[in-house]
Structure 1
Amino acid sequence: MTGLVSLTLGQRCEVRLEAAPMNLVSRELTMQLREALKRVAQHEDARVVVLSSAGDRTFCAGSDIAEFEGLHGQGAEGKLLLEKLVYRQLAVLEVPVIAAIEGHALGGGLELALSCDIRVASEHSKLGLPELRLGVVPGSGGTQRLARVVGLGRAKEMILLGELITAERAEQIGLVNRVVPSGQALTIAREMADEVAARGPLAVRHAKRLIDASLDRPLDEGMALELDASEDVFSSADMLEGARAFKDKRAPRFTGR
C-alpha cells in the first residue's frame, strides 16, 4: 500500500502514517487508514499490530486546522463520524495494537494513540488535547477514552486546560506505558510486539477482549465471560502445546487453534 498510510502484513503487522512532518489527519489519510485496518482484520496470520508514523518530529498533530472553516455547520459531522468509525475500527481489532509515538501526539493524534492498547513514547514527545484553545472539543474519542486511561481528574485537567505534557509526565499518569530514548519508540514497540506475537494467539485475543469488557460490565458478568474464555482456551491445541513446551523446557509453537 502506498500513499498516506503504508501497511506491512505478517504475524507482526505494521501500519505507518506517511504524511510527515505533521502526519495530519485528513479525510484521505483516514480513508487509507480504514482500508489498512480492514486488511489487518482479514489477515489470518496477524497476532499484533504496531502503529507508527514517518519522521521524528510529530507522531500525529491531529486535524488540519486550515480545514476548520470549511467544516463550519454540518460539514464537520461527516469528518467526525468517519474518524470515530476508523478509530473504533482500530480499537476493536481482535489483536493488540502498540503505538510507537516518536514526536508529538496532539489532538486527533493523541486520540488515535488512545485507540491503541499500549503506547510507547520517545523522551522528547509531548502529548495533549488542545482543542478547547481553538473553540472546539476533542471529537474523535478524547473525552471518552482519555478518562478511561488516566481517570476523570487527569482527563479534565488535560482537556480543560489544553496543556501539553511531557512523555515523562504522561508515563507518570498512565497515559503512556513506556518512555524510551529519542529515536527508539518504533524499535521498542517492535520488541514488545514480538513478545506478544510469541504468546498463544487465542489466549491473547481473549485477554484483550476481556480487559476491554471489564470497563463497562459488572464484576460478576466479567467473571462469567472470563470463565467462558478460559473454557475455550483449555479446549485448544495451544493450551496443550504450551503445557508440553513448559514441561520440555522449550519455546512453544502456537498455531492459534
Structure 2
Amino acid sequence: MSTSSPQNHQPLVTLRRDGHVAEIGLSHGPLNLVTRPMLRDLNTAISEVRGLADVRCVILHGGSGRAFCAGSDIREFAHLKADASEQKILFEDMVLRNLALIEAPTIAALDGPAMGGGLELALACDLRVIHENATLGLTESRLGGLAGNGAVRLARLVGPARANEMLFTGAIIGAQQALDWGIVNRISNGSALEAARELAAGIGLRGPLSNRFAKRLVNASLDRSLDDALSLSSRLQQDIFDSADLREGMSAFFAKRDPIFEGG
C-alpha cells in the first residue's frame, strides 16, 4: 500500500505489509533527500504503522534510491532564518520522535549512504543493518549546520568522545568502522534490506509483548533514574506473567513445539 498524499504529488514514502512485518520505504528520487513533503508522508506512514497492533517489527529502507537518505535538501534552507523552528526544526523533530516511539522493534536497512538527516532517521530506529559498501555520517558541520537530534542519539549510542569526533569533523565512515563503534548492528555483503528482512522475521517469531516491553525498558535505562527504570521493570514483568503469551510459551516449551504468540 502507499501512504495517503496530496493529489499534486506522488507519494514520497511507501508502506507495505508482509505478515507481522511492516516496511516503510523512502521514495524520493535517487538520493531520498529530506524535504517537508517527504517528512509529511513519512509521518503518515508512521502513524499508520502505530495503529497496527499486530505489527511485530518495522523496517525503514531507501527503496530503489542510490542512497538510503543523503540528508536534507539544502534548497529548502534558503528562506529559513528566524522561522526555522516553525518551518523545519520542530516538525522534523516530531517525525523523528514518532519514528522512535513505534512500540514494535524497528530496523533501518542501509543499502546506500546515510548522511546528515538520513543518519538521523536511522538513529531513530532500534537496529541498523548496513551494506558492506555503504557509508554514513553526520556531516552538518561541513556546511556550518548542526545535527541536533542526531547528536543526542549518536552520543547515547557510542558515547561522547566518538560522537564528538564524528560531529566536529563531519567524518564519513564505512560499514566496518560503524560496526566497530556500535552505530550499526550487522554488515551485509548482499542486500541490507534482505538481511533486515531475515532479522525481522526472527524477531517476529518471538513474543511480541516481550519485545515491546524490552524496548520500553532499554529506553527507560537511558531516560530514567536507575530506581525508576527498575520499578518499571517490575511492573512490566508482572504484566508478562499475567499475559497469555507467557502461558503459550510455556505450553509450547513442554510440548516441544513452536509457540504461537498473539501479543496479549
| TM-score (ref. length: structure 1) | 0.96
Aligned partner of 1:79 in structure 2 is: 88
In the TM superposition, 1:1-257 aligns within 5 A as 1=2, 3-9=11-17, 10-55=19-64, 57-75=66-84, 77-139=86-148, 141-181=149-189, 183-257=190-264
Kindly tell me the number of residue pairs found equivalent between the two proteins.
255
Measured against aligned partners, the alpha-carbon deviations of 1:63-88 in whole angstroms (never above 9, x if no partner) come to: 01122212233245421111100010
Separation in 1, partners of 2:155, 2:183: 10
Which structure 1 residue ranges, 5 or more long, are not aligned? none
Q: Identity over the aligned pairs, expressed in percent?
A: 48
Query: Letter of the aligned partner of 1:168 in structure 2?
Result: Q
1:17 and 1:54 in contact (8 A); partners too: yes
2:25 and 2:61 in contact (8 A); partners too: yes
Query: Cα RMSD over matched residues?
Result: 1.2
2:22 and 2:55 in contact (8 A); partners too: yes
4+ residue stretches of structure 1 with deviation over 6 A? none
Return the offset for 1:154. Answer: 0.4
Measured against aligned partners, the alpha-carbon deviations of 1:116-162 in whole angstroms (never above 9, x if no partner) come to: 000000011111011011111113x1121010011100000000010
| Secondary structure of residue in 1 paired with 2:222 | coil
2:32 and 2:65 in contact (8 A); partners too: no
| TM-score (ref. length: structure 2) | 0.94
Measured against aligned partners, the alpha-carbon deviations of 1:160-201 in whole angstroms (never above 9, x if no partner) come to: 0101000110000000001111x4100010111111111111
Return the offset for 1:235. Answer: 0.8
Query: Letter of the aligned partner of 1:5 in structure 2?
Result: V
1:20 and 1:54 in contact (8 A); partners too: no
| Secondary structure of residue in 1 paired with 2:58 | strand
Return the offset for 1:220. Answer: 2.3
Which structure 2 residue ranges, 5 or more long, are not aligned? 4-10
1:51 and 1:99 in contact (8 A); partners too: yes
| Secondary structure of residue in 1 paired with 2:25 | strand
Query: Letter of the aligned partner of 1:100 in structure 2?
Result: A
Distance 1:168 1:56, change over 3 A: farther
Separation in 2, partners of 1:74, 1:16: 30
| Secondary structure of residue in 1 paired with 2:223 | coil
Return the offset for 1:17. Answer: 0.2
Query: Letter of the aligned partner of 1:228 in structure 2?
Result: R
Separation in 1, partners of 2:41, 2:116: 19
